[in-house]
A = this chain, B = another copy of it.
Amino acid sequence: MSGEPELPRIPDTQGPHAESLGEWLRGEGPDVDIALCTRIRFARNVQGYRFSTSLDAREAADLDAFLRRAIASLRIEPPLTTHELTHLDALEREVLVERHLISREHAHSERPRSVAYDAGESVAMMINEEDHLRSQVFRSGLCVGETYRAAEALDDALLGAVPIAFSEQFGFLTACPTNVGTGLRASVMLHLPALVWGDEIERAAHSAQKIHLAVRGMYGEGSRALGDFYQVSNQITLGRTEAEVLEDVETAVRQLVDWERRVRIALLSGRKADQTKDRVFRALGTLQNAHILTSEECLTNLSAVRLGVHQELIQHLTVRDLNQILLLTQPAHLQQLCAERLAPADRDARRAGVVRAVLTRAASR
Contacts and interface: CB of A to CB of B under 8 A. Distances in A.
Contacts of A282: 285-286, 289-290
Contacts of A290: 278, 281-282, 285
Contacts of A292: 274-275, 278
A273 interface: yes
A277 interface: yes
Nearest to A346: B274
A268 B3 CA distance: 10
A108 B282 CA distance: 38
A284 B284 CA distance: 12
Interface of A, helix, strand, loop or mixed by DSSP = helix
Interface centre among A268, A282, A286 (most CB of B within 10 A): A282
A100 interface: no
Contacts of A278: 290-292, 352
* Copy total for this chain: 2
A313 interface: yes
A18 to B, nearest CB: 28
A244 interface: no
Contact of A313 (B1, B274, B277, B352): B1
A274 B311 contact: no
Contacts of A313: 1
13 contacts: A1-B268, A3-B273, A274-B349, A275-B291, A275-B292, A278-B352, A281-B290, A281-B291, A282-B286, A282-B289, A284-B285, A285-B287, A285-B290
Interface of A: 1, 3, 268, 273-275, 277-278, 281-282, 284-292, 311-313, 349, 352
7 closest Cβ contacts across the A-B interface? A285-B285, A285-B289, A281-B289, A278-B291, A278-B292, A277-B291, A1-B312
Given A275-B291, A278-B290, 17 more contacts: A1-B268, A1-B312, A1-B313, A3-B273, A274-B291, A274-B292, A277-B291, A278-B292, A278-B352, A281-B289, A281-B290, A281-B291, A282-B290, A284-B285, A285-B285, A285-B287, A285-B290
